[in-house]
Structure 1
Amino acid sequence: MKALTWHGKSDIRCESVEDPRIEDGRDAIIKVTACAICGSDLHIFDGVIPSMQHGDIVGHEAMGEVVEVGGDNSKLKVGDRVVVPFSIGCGECFFCKRGFYSGCERSNPNKDIVSKVWGNSPAGLHGYSHLLGGYAGGQAEYLRVPYADVGPIKVPNTLTDDQALFLSDIFPTGYMAAEFCDIQQGDTIAIWGCGPVGQMAIRSAFLLGAERVIAIDTVPERLELARKAGAETLDFRHEDIYDRIMELTRGRGADACIDAVGTEADTFSSVYATWDRIKVATFMGTDRPHVLRQAIHCCRNFGTVSIVGVYGGFLDKIPMGSAINRGLTFRMAQTPVQRYLPKLLGLIEEGKFDPSFVITHRGSLEDGPELYKKFRDKKDGCIKVVLQP
């Protein structure tokens, strides 16, 4: 089959690889009908995710048709149309039973390695390094899905692939980011990053009752899409974000702040941000947490900081003095997608949310390497790429 594979920094290739096969009775093999390039995939593309190996198949947003099912899987049958969550949950461990599938204790075969870095291991992920299981990703013609009697959700034929695909990651992630804010009537929510997850968070915040959303980015197309959703927008290259948020909230700060950027924040706007870039470039640091610092400072007393942008290591100069003295609450997670799937699928079926609005570019797997570059460089108004194998 054809698949997109990793061969080093900025080197994604479309290659012929072996077809996946059933390895466990609970597995399923799906023929991928649609997959997407996620902002988190760009961290792999940029070479900042450790333990990638040459030839690894990338991608964690995929859906398709079931073509083979393991003997112990009674949930799925050949011909079912499904969306595959990016995190892999067994459905039986302590965390899965509580709905925290992205904390699954069984699905990461390399959990002993990652525990040395993070203290404990999260779930295995599709297409996201050997640190998180070494599972093949979904930017391919076929995908093996472990624990397929727990993860995938069946999609009715009344929905298009475009409507359903983002249930795999960015819609649940953006919705969770807003849900973490515990939105009350009249709340103002500030969101850093108007990429695909940020766009889902903007619309989810309004859906959950926010009165105002302040969206922060610098890419014109992203800011325009945020305005179409009703958000007020700030361009961090031309405005002091802290000063403007204080002005817009009469000096109080936002009720909740969402970091939808993560480790590779743009380092244009401050001395600390420039220092982040220098430290990463000289191997003195692992992440560039400028957005997180700013979100903490811009949050009101006893407000919430919701973090869904990906961080990988140790963060420097985080203003914990500000956070503790002003009573901030932090909520963060890799999204337990399975927890949200029934509700969010229902919202799409009812016509209350159509995630396809974010798609700007399409292509085949052969187009993938060039579209990775275009997405990373934010060229040609590229906000979200969908590939059709």
Structure 2
Amino acid sequence: MKMEAVVFDGQALTLKYDAQYPMPKIVNDTDVLVKVEYAGICGTDLHIIQGEFPAIKDRPLALGHEFSGIVHDAGKASIFKKGQKVVVDPNRACNLCDFCRKGKYQYCLTAGINSTIGIWKDGGWAQYCCVPQDQVYALPDGITTEQAGLCEPYSCVAHGFDRASPLLVGEKILIVGAGIIGNLWVTTLHHHGHRDVTVSEMNKARLDIVKKLDTGFRLVTPDVLEKDKILYDVIIDCTGVGKVMEISFNYLKPGGKYVLFGCCPPTHQASVNPYQIYDKELTIIGVKINPFSFPNAIGWIKAMGSRYLDYNKLGVKTYALSEYESAMKDLKAGAVAKAMFKIV
């Protein structure tokens, strides 16, 4: 059987729509065949397509590591049943190395980011995807598959939130970059009671999207940051641009924390002043994927509901798989905060 998919060729660095891509089959008794309904395009996907982030080169595959859907079928030993609403965690532990056995599979040299569904194995930019059941989460009542399409990025934010904690209400926080990740941090901080938050973004169209979230946060362009000389307790960098860190690092208060959340290409460099780190006792926090943070993300999504998870307010636009070129174009132009494939 065949299905629709958006397929990436790691050798040629090309992307194409394929209406005759092989439909996956259940191989193991604990496999789950998911009928995909929503699949997001991540900034990491753009880096992959441009050859800036490691991905499989042995064969073409369907990209997509952020997706939700319905159980279409399951192996005879699976706990999942046909018709269940689910979301898929694309990352897993090898369960054998010291990192994994300490609950830190983001550092695993064989699993974690090195075995991600949608990067190293066929992913969610397709009508169907077959995954191991230990990477599948049933959605509780009150969460739609549309909302759960954002579960994977929220799980990464949840891990970042844990890494940066304590984030005390009343602290002065700066979010740099108002793409979808910046917007998810906006909703997360507002939901947790933070109000003294500034969002910096050079693309004014993106700032207009943040306004729709109605948080009351201060929205500025980078030149304003440079002029006002305000210092912050916490800076959350969602840009994935090394040069931005070089500039923004100077806006930290003594004792401040710099959360490097956006994924920079490996070639990016940033120069920071070691004396500042010593003198101000600054902390630099890296955030890599989402180790065991899917339950937190699901809890957040259920608690946030439509107040925060409205696609229109977040700047999320949906596309058919066959419209992938338009999706990529809009995303790169900043016309949307996030492009999402709707496969229902």
Class of the TM-score when normalised by the shorter of the 2 chains: 0.7 to 0.9
For 1:359 and 1:315, the matched residues in 2 are separated by 27
* CA deviation profile, 1:217-241 (whole Å, cap 9, x unmatched): 12223212323322211212xx153
Cα distance change of structure 1 residues 305 and 102 upon mapping to structure 2, 3 Å threshold: same
2:62–2:118 CA contact under 8 A, matched in 1: yes
Corresponding position: 1:4 with 2:6: yes
For 2:158 and 2:186, the matched residues in 1 are separated by 9
1:177–1:307 CA contact under 8 A, matched in 2: no
Report what 1:68 is aligned to: 73
1:162–1:356 CA contact under 8 A, matched in 2: no
* CA deviation profile, 1:229-273 (whole Å, cap 9, x unmatched): 22211212xx153343x2xx3xxx1101111111xx3xxxxxxxx
For 1:137 and 1:213, the matched residues in 2 are separated by 35
For 2:290 and 2:179, the matched residues in 1 are separated by 20
Corresponding position: 1:364 with 2:342: no
Other structure's SS at 1:67 match: strand
Match of 1:261 among 239, 249, 255: 239
TM-score by length of 1: 0.76
Report what 1:124 is aligned to: 115
2:33–2:74 CA contact under 8 A, matched in 1: yes
Give unmatched runs, 5+ long, in structure 1.
109-121, 129-133, 266-288
Cα distance change of structure 1 residues 38 and 356 upon mapping to structure 2, 3 Å threshold: farther
Report what 2:256 is aligned to: 303
* CA deviation profile, 1:319-371 (whole Å, cap 9, x unmatched): 1413244211122222325x333333233334466433424321211111221
* CA deviation profile, 1:6-33 (whole Å, cap 9, x unmatched): 2468742111221222344433221111
Cα distance change of structure 1 residues 32 and 359 upon mapping to structure 2, 3 Å threshold: farther
Match of 2:26 among 1, 22, 27: 22
Paired residue type of 1:164: A
2:156–2:293 CA contact under 8 A, matched in 1: no
Match of 1:384 among 314, 338, 341: 338
Paired residue type of 1:226: V
For 2:338 and 2:269, the matched residues in 1 are separated by 30
Match of 2:64 among 59, 65, 68: 59
For 1:226 and 1:359, the matched residues in 2 are separated by 8
User: How many residue pairs end up in the alignment?
Assistant: 331
For 1:28 and 1:355, the matched residues in 2 are separated by 27
- Residues 41-50 or 189-198, more deviating: 41-50
2:257–2:285 CA contact under 8 A, matched in 1: yes
Corresponding position: 1:143 with 2:129: yes
1:178–1:208 CA contact under 8 A, matched in 2: no
Give 1:86 shift.
Answer: 3.0
Paired residue type of 1:300: K
1:4–1:368 CA contact under 8 A, matched in 2: yes
TM-score by length of 2: 0.85
Give 1:304 shift.
Answer: 0.7
- Residues 347-356 or 324-333, more deviating: 347-356
Give 1:152 shift.
Answer: 1.9
Give 1:62 shift.
Answer: 0.6
Give 1:158 shift.
Answer: 3.3
Report what 1:153 is aligned to: 137
Pairing 1:1-389 to 2, within 5 Å after superposition = 1-7=3-9, 11-15=14-18, 16-53=20-57, 55-73=60-78, 75-89=79-93, 94-96=98-100, 98-104=102-108, 107=111, 122-128=113-119, 134-146=120-132, 148-149=133-134, 151-167=135-151, 169-179=152-162, 180-227=164-211, 228-236=214-222, 239=223, 241-244=225-228, 246=229, 249=230, 253-262=231-240, 265=241, 289-313=242-266, 315-321=268-274, 322-336=276-290, 339-351=292-304, 354-357=308-311, 358-378=314-334, 381-389=335-343
